[in-house]
Amino acid sequence: MARRIALAGIGKIARDQHIPSIAASDDWELAATVSRSGGIEGVETHATMEALLSARPDIEVVSLTMPPASRYGYARAALEAGRHVMLEKPPGATLAEVQNLAAIAEERGLTLFASWHSREAAMARTARDWLEGRDILSVEIEWLEDVRRWHPGQDWVWEPGGLGVFDPGINALSLLTKVLPRPMHLTAATLTYPENRQTPIAADLKFVGPGAATTRARFDWRHDGDQTWAIRIATDAGEAVLSDGGASLAVDGAPVAAGADALSGEYPRLYGHLATLIDTSRSDVDLGPMIHVADAFALGRRETAAPFHF
């Protein structure tokens, strides 16, 4: 039987991915929303999480799709009311608040799923299998996009907790930390802030690892034209390039065949994983990608760029 789920925060990602993925799955029934702006036509809506939790004790799971800085209060209220919780990426504004949510979920025997959609990219598993047993020599990430196209009018990305260019950049880090057989750690960063904004518009990161390799990441929101979401991994036995956010893989220049669902399959796979986690009474909370971002803010040198206006 389908589990009843509520979605909270009905914006771009809820409409683009969560609602269609829930609708297409036999595991789930979208039973209600929490929305300050009216929710979804034809679906019961509550203005606050507290109102939802008291009106609908039959809803077992709440999926939170609002920006990260406001997510903690919603997640905590849902867990304390005995509901399983799924968090969009990044799972919160700080590492400690997510650890706190994980502890509450564990105490209460509930599932907390800190989702990383890029880890469900079509070629992530194939890339990880290909890297097994190879020595990695270097890794280069290029995550370049036009912020006006991908975050039109979203002021929250420029506010503390909004992460700026790390909002997409953390997708690259989540994908890379899934496919690498060994860890890496950040050693230097340069963060470029528009002079009128609180978060960076570009970042250049250097890591030691995996193993004896070095990793370099370049995130930039000032990119015209089509986005580049690519990771190039040089090894002692060939080179792998993950592109299109992990939907495509080439080895030594030759494309590796992808499944038909490619990028569009990320969210159905996330919701499939959520169902399995609940069925098996487990949580999935990996803060690795967020630790690299926190390290970049801790070590990063600051540069100032021209003001940014939408």
Q: Closest by alpha carbon to 70, among 107, 34, 117? A: 34
**Does 204 participate in binding ligand NAP (rule CB under 6 A)?**
no
Active-site hit among 12, 89, 178, 206: 89
- Those residues with Cβ within 8 angstroms of residue 275's Cβ, 6 or more apart along the chain or in another chain: 3, 25, 27, 28
**Residue 70 or 243 having the CB closest to ligand NAP:** 70
Give the range of 9-17, 52-60, 127-135, 204-212 binding ligand NAP by CB under 6 A: 9-17
**Does 117 participate in binding ligand NAP (rule CB under 6 A)?**
yes
**Does 36 participate in binding ligand NAP (rule CB under 6 A)?**
yes
Give the range of 5-13, 129-137, 186-194, 209-217 binding ligand NAP by CB under 6 A: 5-13
**Residue 213 or 296 having the CB closest to ligand NAP:** 296
89 is catalytic: yes
User: Minimum CB separation from ligand NAP for residue 10, in Å?
Assistant: 4
**Does 11 participate in binding ligand NAP (rule CB under 6 A)?**
yes
# chain residues binding ligand NAP, by CB under 6 A: 19
User: Minimum CB separation from ligand NAP for residue 295, in Å?
Assistant: 19
Identify the residue among 120, 142, 145, 167 touching ligand NAP (CB under 6 A).
Answer: 167
**Residue 49 or 131 having the CB closest to ligand NAP:** 49
Q: Closest by alpha carbon to 62, among 35, 80, 83, 89? A: 83
Structure tokens at 36: 């300050």
Footprint (CB under 6 A) of ligand NAP, residues 219-248: none
State the residues that interact with ligand NAP by CB under 6 A.
Answer: 9-14, 35-37, 65-68, 70, 88-89, 117, 154, 167
Which residues form the catalytic set?
89
